[in-house]
Amino acid sequence: MTAREDTPTRAALDAALLCSRVIFTSPAAVRHAVRLRMLAPDAQNARMRHTFALGETTHAALRRAGISKVLVAQHATSEGLLALPEFASISGAQIGVVTAPGGRGLLASRLRERGATLAVAEVYARTPARLNATHARHLLEARGHGAVCVTSAEALRNVLGALPDAARTALLGCRAVVSSPRLEAIARESGFQTVIRADAPTPRSLLNALCAHASPQGFR
């Protein structure tokens, strides 16, 4: 990923932080926002009254940044966040979204459909995976005896697109551990034969799902 630290990005972040509701969509969004502006409550962003995190890992990043009062959806998805009562009646509300370009765009479109005005700050950009011959060799040596955790459709497509044919086939022979029904469908469409669904996109949930799937003898 690449940081965006130009003047327009700083201005967009300032506008987002002044909204009555501010949503951070990922831990990376928090990290890059911190590089641009101090997020802990002060005179500059005292109006940041309600802060929302898309998932527990984003929540943890906000806590490290000094924001202690954060609302988190039970399910770490855009749908889960939109189901919070704070977004039930938002006609005329100003909502800041600190994020990156790309993704489904579901959150922004649904908020606008409900009558909100958005101040979107794209503080970083996702970049394609930088894979080399070493990554391909490790996949070939694994011969399908492994697992890959998938929490982003865009990241999965980037990785599959960056691998040579043989290494891509080897990766698709591994188990895919996904964090949502949507990603489960995408993983199967991409060619994974074994797809395991976790409850959330956190490392703990992904690992727990993988361990629950494994036999007592381990992977074969």
Q: Report if residue 218 sits inside a domain.
A: no
Task: Examine the domain organization and report whether 40 and 80 are in the same domain.
Answer: yes
Residue 219 lies inside a defined structural domain of this protein: no
In the chain (220 residues long), the average pLDDT of successive 10-residue segments reads 80 92 92 83 55 89 89 81 92 94 83 96 83 90 87 88 93 93 94 92 87 65
Q: How many domains does the chain have?
A: 2
Q: In whole angstroms, give the CA distance from residue 147 to residue 174.
A: 5
Give the per-residue pLDDT at 148.
93
Element spanning 134, H or E: helix 133-142
Are 65 and 28 in the same domain? yes
Say whether both 29 and 109 belong to one domain: yes
For residue 1, the 8-state DSSP code is: -
Per the prediction, the chain carries an average pLDDT of: 86
pTM score, whole prediction: 0.73
Q: 139 and 202: one domain?
A: yes
The whole-number pLDDT of residue 216 equals 55
| Same-domain pairing of 16 and 108 | yes
DSSP 27-80: HHHHHHHHHHS--SSSSSSTT--EEEESSHHHHHHHHHTT---EEE-SSSSHHH
Q: Within this chain, do residues 140 and 111 fall inside the same structural domain, yes or no? A: no
Residue 169 DSSP label = H
Same domain, 159 and 190: yes
Assign residue 202 the CATH number of its domain: 3.40.50.10090
Helix (H, G, I), strand (E, B) or coil at 8: helix
State the pLDDT at residue 183.
92
Domain interval for residue 117: 2-125
What is the per-residue pLDDT for 97? 95
Query: Would you state the pLDDT for residue 167?
Result: 93
- Asked whether residue 111 falls in the same domain as residue 45, the answer is yes
117 and 149 part of one domain: no
Q: Distance between CA 192 and CA 187 in Å, rounded?
A: 6
Judge if 118 and 154 occupy the same domain. no
Please report the pLDDT score of residue 143 as a whole number.
80
- Shortest CA distance to 96 belongs to which of 49, 40, 142, 131? 49
Tell me how far apart the alpha carbons of residues 108 and 73 are, in angstroms, rounded to a whole number: 16
Phi-psi sector, 144: left (phi>0), alpha (psi -120 to 50), beta = left
